[in-house]
Chain A
C-alpha cells in the first residue's frame, strides 16, 4: 500500500534532478544522467557506509553477537507490521521537518530552528485540540494542523525578517529561538495545559476524534506518514518545476545576481522560511495527533537536529530526503529491538548519528587545493 507511491516518486524524482541543457535524448543522455546521479549520491553513500563499518567495529568490541545486533538494528524494522508501522511513525516528523529544511537551505537560509518550530507546532495543535473538544473529527484535525502550521511559520518568520531587514545571522537566531520555544512550551504544559492527574510535564489528553487514523494493516502507523509522503512529490514539483522554485533556488545560489535579474530575493527568503517553519509545525501537530495524543514536554529525541542531518545527507533533494529519513528512522526504531535482543545498548545509535554527521560534511577539496598551488607557483 505504502511502498507503491514510494517507488513511483523515486523514478521521476531522481531522474530529472540535474536540469541541464536540452541535450539529445538517447542512450548517451541516460548514461549522463546516471553518471550525474552517481556523482551526487556517492558521497552520502560513502559516509553512510563508513559510519556503518565503524559502528560494526564498535559492536564487535562490545558484543559477541555483532551480526545479530545489526540485523535487529535494520532488518527487524520490517519483520512485523507493528515494527514497520513504528518505523513509519518515527520517520514522519523527520521527513516533514527535513522537507521544510530543504526549502530554507535551497533559499540560502541556514535554518537550525527545526526543533523549536516542531515544539511550537506541537503545543499549538494540542492547545487547539483541547480548546475545541466539541468539533467533529475531520474539522478538529484540520484546525489542529492549521494551528501547528501557523505557530511553526510564525516562529520561523522571526529569523527571516531579521535576516532580510538587518542582515542578522539566522543561524544564531534560530539556535536561540529553539531554547526560547522549548522553555515557552514548558511553561504552557506546566500551567494552562497541564494534566493535574499525570506525572510529569504533559498536557491533558486530546479528544479522541482528533486522533489520526491508523494506516490500514499497520495499527502502529498513522496517516501522518502518508501526509508526509504526499508532500514529497509536491515539494519536488514546487522546487524544480515552478517559477517560484526556480526563483527560490536562484536566491539561494547567488542573492545579488538573482536580485539583479529581477528575482525578489528577500521575498523568496521569507517565503521559504515560512514554508520551512510550517512544515516543522505540521510535524509537531502530526506527532501530537497521531502518536502522543497529548503534548509531552520531552517528546522529541531531537527530531529537529536529526532532520537537519537528514536534509543535508540527502543533498537537499526531496526524494533523497525520503530515503534518508527512512534510514534514520530505521536506526532510531531498530535501536530498541537491538537493545532487547542483544547486549548492545541503544545509545549506539546516537553515537553513530554523531559520527555520520561529522563524516558527511567532509569535503576533500583536492581540485581547489591544486588551483591554489597553481596560484602560488604563478
Chain B
C-alpha cells in the first residue's frame, strides 16, 4: 500500500507544481500553456548544472532560475509585445524542446539524453515525525525536499492569492481589467508577477522531475506533464486546494495506469482519465451545473426554513 501511495506521490508532485504554476496566471486571466516548456528547460538545466558544480543547492537554484527566465520571456512576449498567450506559450514549448535537444546534440554529443556518471543526491527528508502523519506519512518518508515543499506550497499559495495585496491585484486583473485599472492597480505588473511565479513553480517541477529519482535528462522528458497540470488546475477550478485534489486524483490515475500495463483494463484509458475529467469539469462549470445544485440546495433549505416558521 505504501508503495502505491509513494508512487502516487511521485506522479502527483510535478503535476501539482505545474497546476499551481498555471493557477497563478489563470487567476490573472492568462492561459499558461508554457508551463511545459518552463519545466523542460528547468529539468535540463538542473542536470547540466548539477553535473558541472556537483552541488545540489546550485542545481536546484539554477533550475528555478531557468524556469523564471523562460517565464520572463513568456511574460515579455505576451504582456509587453502583445503576443497571443496561447501561441506564445506553444512557441515557448517548441523553443524549450529545440534548445534542449540542440544542446544535447551539440555540447554533449548525445541526442539520446544527458546521463552524468556521478550526480549529487537531492536532499531527502525522513524521520519519525514524518512517519507519524496518518495515511501519507509512510509514503512521505524519504521523499525529496521538493515533494514536501510542493505540499507546503498549497496553503502558501492560498495565503498569497487571497490574503496579500499582490494576490488581490492578480485576481482583480483577472476579474476585470478595466475596473482593476480604475482602482489604481497596475494590471501589467500584477500579471507579470503571476507569470514569474509560474516560472518559479515550473522550475521546481522540472527540478523534481529530473533530479529526484532519475538523475538524468531525456529529450521531451516532461511528456505533457505541464498540460496535465493545466488540466488539473482547470479541473480544480483554479484554486490551490482544487489543484491539489485534482493533481492527486491524476496522480492516482497515473500510478494506476503504470500498474495496469498489460492488465485487463487498457492503461491508455486510465491515462486519458485526467483529460476527460478536465473536459467534463469545464463543461459542467459552463452548464452551471454547480450553480444549479447549489441554488437547489439553497431553495430547499429556504423551503425548510419556511416550513419551520409555518410549524
A complexed with B: yes
Chain A residues within 8 Å of B, Cβ to Cβ: 62, 110, 112, 162, 166-169, 171-173, 175-177, 179-180, 183-184, 186-187, 190-191, 302, 305, 308-309, 312, 345-358, 361-365
A-facing residues in B225-253 (Cβ within 8 Å): 227, 230-231, 234
Assess whether B279 is in contact with A350, with CB atoms less than 8 Å apart. Answer: no
Min CB distance B249 to A, Å, is 15
Min CB distance A61 to B, Å, is 9
Query: Please, which residues of chain A bring their CB within 8 A of the CB of B104?
Result: 347
Q: Is B302 interfacial (CB 8 A cutoff)?
A: no
Q: Is B125 interfacial (CB 8 A cutoff)?
A: no
11 other A-B residue contacts (CB within 8 Å) besides A348-B98, A354-B98:
A112-B86, A172-B278, A172-B279, A176-B227, A179-B275, A180-B272, A183-B275, A347-B111, A354-B97, A354-B99, A355-B95
Assess whether A168 is in contact with B282, with CB atoms less than 8 Å apart. Answer: yes
- Supposing A167-B286, A172-B31, A180-B275 touch, asked if A357 and B227 sit within 8 A by C-beta, the answer is no
Bound: A208/B130 CA distance, A: 63
Assess whether B101 is in contact with A347, with CB atoms less than 8 Å apart. Answer: yes
Query: Please, which residues of chain B bring their CB within 8 A of the CB of A308?
Result: 87, 90
Which residue of A312, A345, A357, A363 is within 8 Å of B106 (Cβ)? Answer: A345
A-B contact pairs, 10 of them (CB 8 A): A62-B106, A162-B286, A169-B282, A177-B275, A309-B91, A345-B101, A350-B98, A351-B95, A361-B83, A364-B82
Q: Is B81 interfacial (CB 8 A cutoff)?
A: yes
- Supposing A176-B231, A347-B111, A362-B77 touch, asked if A171 and B98 sit within 8 A by C-beta, the answer is no
- Supposing A176-B231, A183-B272 touch, asked if A358 and B91 sit within 8 A by C-beta, the answer is yes
Assess whether B82 is in contact with A183, with CB atoms less than 8 Å apart. Answer: no
Q: At the interface with chain A, which of B133-141, B186-194, B200-208, B263-271?
A: B263-271
- Supposing A345-B105, A357-B87, A357-B90 touch, asked if A162 and B82 sit within 8 A by C-beta, the answer is no
Which residue of A183, A352, A363 is within 8 Å of B271 (Cβ)? Answer: A183
In this complex, what residue of B is CB-closest to A356?
Answer: B91
Q: Is B168 interfacial (CB 8 A cutoff)?
A: no
Report which residue of B268, B271, B278, B287 has the largest number of chain A beta carbons within 10 angstroms of its beta carbon.
Answer: B268
Query: Please, which residues of chain B bring their CB within 8 A of the CB of A187?
Result: 266, 268-269
- Supposing A168-B286, A187-B269, A350-B94 touch, asked if A176 and B101 sit within 8 A by C-beta, the answer is no
Query: Please, which residues of chain A bring their CB within 8 A of the CB of B94?
Result: 302, 305, 350, 353-354, 357
Q: Is B124 interfacial (CB 8 A cutoff)?
A: no
- Supposing A168-B283, A175-B33 touch, asked if A354 and B95 sit within 8 A by C-beta, the answer is yes
Q: Is B224 interfacial (CB 8 A cutoff)?
A: yes
In this complex, what residue of A is CB-closest to B93?
Answer: A354
Assess whether A177 is in contact with B88, with CB atoms less than 8 Å apart. Answer: no
Bound: A347/B81 CA distance, A: 27
Assess whether A177 is in contact with B279, with CB atoms less than 8 Å apart. Answer: yes
Ranked 10 nearest A-B pairs via Cβ? A354-B95, A357-B91, A351-B98, A350-B98, A354-B94, A345-B105, A361-B83, A347-B101, A187-B268, A358-B91
Assess whether B275 is in contact with A363, with CB atoms less than 8 Å apart. Answer: no
Assess whether B224 is in contact with A354, with CB atoms less than 8 Å apart. Answer: no
Query: Please, which residues of chain B bring their CB within 8 A of the CB of A358?
Result: 73, 77, 83, 88, 91-92, 95
Assess whether B91 is in contact with A350, with CB atoms less than 8 Å apart. Answer: no
Number of interface residues of B (CB under 8 A): 45
Query: Please, which residues of chain A bring their CB within 8 A of the CB of B272?
Result: 179-180, 183-184
Which residue of A175, A347, A365 is within 8 Å of B98 (Cβ)? Answer: A347
Min CB distance B109 to A, Å, is 9
Assess whether A312 is in contact with B95, with CB atoms less than 8 Å apart. Answer: no
Assess whether A354 is in contact with B96, with CB atoms less than 8 Å apart. Answer: yes
- Supposing A183-B268, A187-B268, A354-B91 touch, asked if A347 and B102 sit within 8 A by C-beta, the answer is yes
Query: Please, which residues of chain A bring their CB within 8 A of the CB of B278?
Result: 172, 176
Query: Please, which residues of chain B bring their CB within 8 A of the CB of A183?
Result: 268-269, 271-272, 275
Min CB distance A346 to B, Å, is 8
Bound: A356/B77 CA distance, A: 12
Which residue of A168, A179, A352, A354 is within 8 Å of B92 (Cβ)? Answer: A354
Query: Please, which residues of chain B bring their CB within 8 A of the CB of A62?
Result: 106
Which residue of B84, B86, B101, B276 is within 8 Å of A180 (Cβ)? Answer: B276
Assess whether B275 is in contact with A166, with CB atoms less than 8 Å apart. Answer: no
- Supposing A166-B287, A186-B268, A362-B77 touch, asked if A357 and B88 sit within 8 A by C-beta, the answer is yes
- Supposing A187-B266, A362-B83 touch, asked if A351 and B275 sit within 8 A by C-beta, the answer is no
Min CB distance B281 to A, Å, is 10
Bound: A177/B280 CA distance, A: 12
Report which residue of B95, B96, B278 has the largest number of chain A beta carbons within 10 angstroms of its beta carbon.
Answer: B95
Assess whether A176 is in contact with B98, with CB atoms less than 8 Å apart. Answer: no
Bound: A55/B286 CA distance, A: 44
Min CB distance B140 to A, Å, is 29
Query: Please, which residues of chain B bring their CB within 8 A of the CB of A309?
Result: 87, 90-91
In this complex, what residue of B is CB-closest to A176?
Answer: B275
Report which residue of A162, A187, A350 has the largest number of chain B beta carbons within 10 angstroms of its beta carbon.
Answer: A350
Bound: A179/B273 CA distance, A: 10
Bound: A180/B92 CA distance, A: 23
In this complex, what residue of B is CB-closest to A368?
Answer: B82
Query: Please, which residues of chain B bring their CB within 8 A of the CB of A302?
Result: 94
Contact with A along B170-185 (1 / 0, CB 8 A): 0000000000000000
Assess whether B98 is in contact with A353, with CB atoms less than 8 Å apart. Answer: yes
Query: Please, which residues of chain B bring their CB within 8 A of the CB of A351?
Result: 95, 98-99, 102
Bound: A183/B273 CA distance, A: 10
Query: Please, which residues of chain A bring their CB within 8 A of the CB of B283?
Result: 162, 166, 168
- Supposing A168-B282, A172-B31 touch, asked if A361 and B275 sit within 8 A by C-beta, the answer is no
Min CB distance A204 to B, Å, is 19
Which residue of A168, A175, A312, A363 is within 8 Å of B81 (Cβ)? Answer: A363
Which residue of B82, B87, B275 is within 8 Å of A365 (Cβ)? Answer: B82
Bound: A295/B86 CA distance, A: 30
